[in-house]
Chains A and B, each alone.
Chain A
Amino acid sequence: MSRSEATPIAPTRVGPEPTISRPGGIGQSERRPDGVPKVTGEFEYASDMWLDGTLFGATLRSPHPHARIWSIEISEAEAIPGVYAVLTHEDVPGRKVYGMEIPDQPVLAWDRIRYQGEPIAIVAADHPETARRALEKIAIDYEVLDPLADAEEAMRENAPKLHLSGNVLNHVHIKHGDGDAVEADVVVRGEYEIGMQDQAFLGPESGLAVPDGEGGVDLYIATQWLHVDQDQLVESLGLSPEMVRLTLSGVGGAFGGREDLSMQIHACMLALHTERPVKIVYDREESFYGHVHRHPAKMRYEHGATRDGKLVYVKARTVLDGGAYASSSPAVCSNAARFAIGPYECPNALIDSYVVYTNNPPCGAMRGFGAVQTCFAHESQMDKLAGALGMDPVEFRVKNAMTTGSTMPTGQRVEGPTPVAELLERVKAMPMPEAAGDGPRDLRELPGGVSNTTHGEGVTRGVGYAVGFKNVGFAEGFDDYATARVRLSVTDDGPLVEVHTAAAEVGQGLVTVQAQIAHTELGVERISVLPADTRVGSAGSTSASRQTYMTGGAVKMACEAVRERLFERVKEEFGESPNSLSLEDGSVVSGDRMVASLMDLLDGEDIEETVVHRHVETFPLDANGQGDADMQYAFSAHRAVVDVDTELGLVRVVELATAQDVGKALNPQAVEGQIEGGTAQGLGLALLEEIQVRDGKILNASFTDYLLPTILDMPPVKMDILELADPNAPYGLRGIGEPPNISTPPAIVAALRDATGRELPRIPVRPEQIAGVATQPPRRSPQAGGGYADIGDIRDRSET
Chain B
Amino acid sequence: MRRIQMTVDGKPHVADVEPRLLLIHHLRENLGIGGTQVGCDTSNCGACTVLMDGESVKSCTVLAVQADGREVTTVQGIAENGNWHPMQTAFHEQHGLQCGYCTPGMIMASISLLKENPNPSEDEIREGLEGNVCRCTGYENIIKAVQQAAGQTQGTPAATS
Which residues of A does B touch, CB under 8 Å?
Answer: 1-11, 13, 21-24, 28-36, 38-43, 45, 47-48, 200-204, 250-255, 283-285, 442, 444-445, 450, 506-509, 669-670, 672-673, 675-681, 702-704, 708, 710-712, 714, 716-717
* In the bound complex, CA of A428 to CA of B47 (Å): 37
Tell me whether B130 and A506 are in contact (CB under 8 A): no
Is the CB–CB distance between A4 and B99 below 8 Å? no
Given A23-B161, A33-B161, A40-B88 in contact, is the A202-B99 Cβ separation under 8 Å? yes
A676 touching B138, Cβ below 8 Å: yes
Do A507 and B99 have beta carbons less than 8 Å apart? yes
A35: contacting residue among B30, B91, B129, CB under 8 A: B91
B 95-137 contacts with A by CB, 8 A? 95, 97-104, 107, 123, 125-127, 129-137
A681 neighbours in B (Cβ, 8 Å): 135
Complex CA gap A204/B41 in Å reads 11
Query: Considering the chains assembled together, what is the distance between the CA atoms of A201 and B107 in angstroms?
Result: 19
The interface residues of chain B lying within 8 Å CB-to-CB of A40 are 35, 75-76, 79, 84, 88
Nearest chain A CB to B49 CB, angstrom units: 12
Q: Which of these, A7, A442, A680, contacts B138 with CB under 8 Å?
A: A680
B98 touches A677 (CB 8 A): yes
9 sampled A-B residue pairs with Cβ under 8 A: A5-B29, A6-B17, A31-B160, A39-B107, A251-B99, A444-B126, A672-B95, A710-B131, A710-B133
- CB neighbours (8 Å) of A28 from chain B are 158-159
Known: A680-B138, A711-B139. A508 touches B98 (CB 8 A): yes
Contact A202 B133, CB 8 Å, known A9-B30, A679-B138: yes
* B59 within 8 A of partner (CB): no
B-chain residues with CB within 8 Å of residue A36 when the two chains form the complex: 92, 161
Q: Report yes or no: A509 in contact with B159, Cβ–Cβ below 8 A.
A: no
A252 touches B29 (CB 8 A): no
Query: Which residues of A lie under 8 Å from residue B133 when comparing CB positions?
Result: 202, 703, 708, 710
Chain B residues, CB < 8 A from A509: 98
Contact B134 A202 (CB under 8 A): yes
**A251 to chain B: which residues have CB within 8 Å?**
99
Residues of B within 8 A of A48 (CB): 34
Q: Assess whether A704 is in contact with B44, with CB atoms less than 8 Å apart.
A: yes
Q: How far, in angstroms, from A717 to B103 measured CA to CA in the complex?
A: 21
Beta-carbon contact of A711 and B142 below 8 Å? yes
A11, B158: Cβ atoms under 8 Å?
Answer: no
Shortest B8–chain A CB gap in Å is 12
Instruction: Kindly state the separation between the CA atoms of A768 and B133 in the bound complex, as whole angstroms.
Output: 26
Distance in angstroms between the alpha carbons of A201 and B134 in the assembled complex: 9
Say yes or no: A29-B158 contact (C-beta < 8 A), given A203-B37, A444-B123, A679-B138: yes
Q: Given the complex, which residues of A lie within 8 Å of B138, measured CB to CB? A: 673, 675-680, 714, 717
**In the assembly, what is the distance between CA of A4 and CA of B2, in Å?**
14
CB-nearest residue of chain B relative to A20? Answer: B161
One of A5, A11, A200, A250 near B135 (C-beta < 8 A)? A200
Cβ contact within 8 Å between B44 and A6: no
Q: When the two chains form their complex, are residues B42 and A704 in contact, meaning their CB atoms are under 8 A apart?
A: yes
B contacts with A: majority SS: loop
Q: Which of A3, A22, A255, A717 contacts B159 (CB 8 A)?
A: A22
Partner of B140 from the list A6, A10, A670, A717 (CB cut-off 8 Å) is A717
Min CB gap A670→B, angstroms: 7
Residues of A within 8 A of B47 (CB): 202
B100 touches A43 (CB 8 A): yes
- B62 an interface residue at 8 Å Cβ cutoff? no
- Shortest A681–chain B CB gap in Å is 8
Given A31-B93, A39-B97, CB of A702 within 8 Å of CB of B42? yes
In the bound assembly, the distance between CA atoms of A1 and B25 in angstroms comes to 14
Q: A444 to B36, alpha carbons, bound, how many Å? A: 30
Please tell me if B72 contacts chain A, counting CB pairs below 8 Å: no
Asked if A31 contacts B161 (CB within 8 A), the reply is yes
Contact B99 A253 (CB under 8 A): yes
| Known A35-B95, A38-B97; 16 more pairs at CB < 8 Å | A9-B29, A24-B159, A28-B159, A31-B158, A202-B101, A202-B134, A202-B135, A252-B37, A507-B136, A669-B141, A702-B40, A703-B45, A708-B45, A708-B135, A711-B125, A711-B126
**Cα(A253)–Cα(B135), bound, Å:** 8
CB neighbours (8 Å) of A444 from chain B are 123, 126-127
A39 in contact with B21 (CB, 8 Å)? no
A712: B residues at CB distance < 8 A: 126-127, 130
With an 8 A cutoff between CB atoms, is B11 at the interface?
no
Q: Given the complex of chains A and B, what is the CA–CA distance between A445 and B126 in angstroms?
A: 11
Our pick among B84, B131, B140 for the contact of A676 (Cβ within 8 Å) is B140
CB nearest neighbor in B for A283? B41
Residue on A nearest B1 in the bound complex, by CB? A6
Q: Which residues of B contact A43 (CB under 8 A)?
A: 100
* Residue B22 is within 8 A (CB to CB) of chain A in the complex: yes
Q: Is the CB of A670 within 8 A of B95?
A: yes
The 10 closest A-B pairs by CB, nearest first: A41-B35, A507-B99, A38-B100, A676-B138, A252-B101, A10-B32, A507-B98, A703-B44, A680-B138, A41-B75
The smallest C-beta distance from A207 to any residue of chain B, in angstroms, reads 16
CB of B28 closer than 8 Å to a CB of A = yes
Whether the pair B98, A39 counts as a contact (CB closer than 8 A) is no
CA distance A13 to B132 in the complex (A): 27
> B74 at the A/B interface (Cβ < 8 Å)?
yes
Instruction: Report the separation of the CA atoms of residues A717 and B144 in the bound assembly, to the nearest whole angstrom.
Output: 13
Contacts A31-B158, A442-B123, A676-B140; A6 near B21 (Cβ below 8 A):
yes
